[in-house]
Amino acid sequence: MNQSPAPEAEDPKWSRGALEVLSSCPACGAQDACWDTRRVDDAGAMPDIWHIYRCSACGSIYLNPRPNVESLPAAYVDYLTHDAPEAERALASQEWMWAVLRDYLASRFGLRTPLRVLPGGRVLFQLFEPWRLKLDRFGRHLTRSRFVRPGRLLDVGCGAGEFLALAKAMGWSASGCDPDPKVVEMCIARGLDVRLGGGDAFADALGSFDVVTLNQVIEHVIDPQALLRQCQALLRPGGMVWIGFPNPRSIGFMQFGAAWAGLHPPYHLCLPTQAVLDRWLVSAGFERVHFERRGMHARADWQKSVAIARQLGLVIPRPWFRWLSRCFSDFVSTLTPRWSEETVAVAWKAAP
């Protein structure tokens, strides 16, 4: 087993600021790493080479060294969320496929839209489990069976606000927050209720939300456990937190290794395993932790991983093998969440 190396310089730097060096796994505190690799950022926007480790004790993946709390915002000055958002196709497209899909979303999530809705979607997607699971994730599992009446929702790290627009169409009183001033301005220009900052931006609304969502957020923050405690404080008793992030034990990681799209340095600081996330949630005051099956969803990550492998000059499996392994991943993800490309978890705030 390998221990994360100490820095060569007393004050290690990266191209946009200072680094912090971890002496142990940020997920569980263990000091030994059983796997490490080196990667540049996916877009090649920075000259830095990043070291990524896998904890031998818990299996979580983490960046070490990593941008410190002061320099981390500099990584996002040209991040992909700054691009003008595309209209959410479920709320904008007139294509027949989306009209059928809206029938399922209306039945399952209470979607309301002036666009045409073609009947049959609610039956079709119920019959084909991989598609149904994919659409349930699209709606953040806010089904009418769980929430007869939509209440108040907070999307932490809301980005350009695509999900906020969908949640509003599903009947939720939806608010968001993001630490990036550029995307906050974009959201406000779209008429969305968004504040600058993390969950602390809604410190005046503790205990008032029915749902808090964290979509591809927890892996970006310096202290994810503090974030979970913050979300717990924002929820009313019995409220639900929804979390989605790349799964470090996915079939995609097994397939692509150093080229796996989920590594995404320097933005992804720590990818906890599902067992670690379960412990974090219970420690933060949540109960009934449940990991959702993902169904058909691996294609986009497979494509990104192939592009990264080519960029790194790594050997890429033949197309037919990649297709078979991707189909196998989607099949397994329909049966169990354990090896999905993405971990999706829901948990409820314990009663006082």
State pLDDT tens for residues 18-35: 999 999 999 999 988 787
State pLDDT tens for residues 161-209: 999 999 999 999 999 999 999 999 999 999 999 999 998 999 999 999 9
3-state secondary structure the chain: CEECCCCCCCCCEECCEEEECCCCCCCCCCCEEEEEEEECCCCCCCCCCEEEEEECCCCCEEECCEECCCCHHHHHCCCHHHCCCCCCHHHHCCCHHHHHHHHHHHHHHCCCCCCCCCCCHHHHHHHCHHHHHHHHHHCCCCCCCCCCCCCEEEEECCCCCHHHHHHHHCCCEEEEEECCHHHHHHHHHCCCEEEECCHHHHHHHCCCEEEEEEECCHHHCCCHHHHHHHHHHHEEEEEEEEEEEECCCCHHHHHHHHHCCCCCCCCCCEECCHHHHHHHHHHCCEEEEEECCCCCCCHHHHHHHHHHHHHHCCCCCCHHHHHHHHHHHHHHHHHCCCCCCEEEEEEEECCC
Half-sphere exposure of 273 (CA within 13 A, CB side): 14
pLDDT of residue 276: 98
Going edge to edge, which strands form the sheet with 66-67? Answer: 13-14, 17-20, 66-67
Q: Say whether pLDDT at 133 is over 70.
A: yes
**Nearest-10 Cα torsion for 146, 286, 262, 299:** -20
Phi, psi dihedrals of residue 342, rounded to the nearest 5°: -125, 135
Residue 119 tokens read as 């009947």
Residues of the chain with CATH 3.40.50.150: 81-349
Going edge to edge, which strands form the sheet with 235-246? Answer: 193-196, 173-178, 152-156, 209-215, 235-246, 342-349, 286-291
pLDDT of residue 6: 45
State pLDDT tens for residues 301-350: 999 999 999 998 998 889 999 999 999 999 999 999 999 999 999 999 98
Mean pLDDT of the chain: 92
Q: Say what the pTM is.
A: 0.94
DSSP-assigned beta bridge partners for residue 38: 51
- How many residues make up the chain in this entry? 352
Q: Quote the CA–CA distance of 217 and 213 in Å, as a whole number.
A: 9
pLDDT of residue 347: 98
How crowded is residue 141: how many other Cβ atoms within 10 Å of its Cβ?
22
Secondary-structure class of domain 81-349 per CATH:
alpha beta
pLDDT class of 88 with cuts at 50, 70, 90: confident
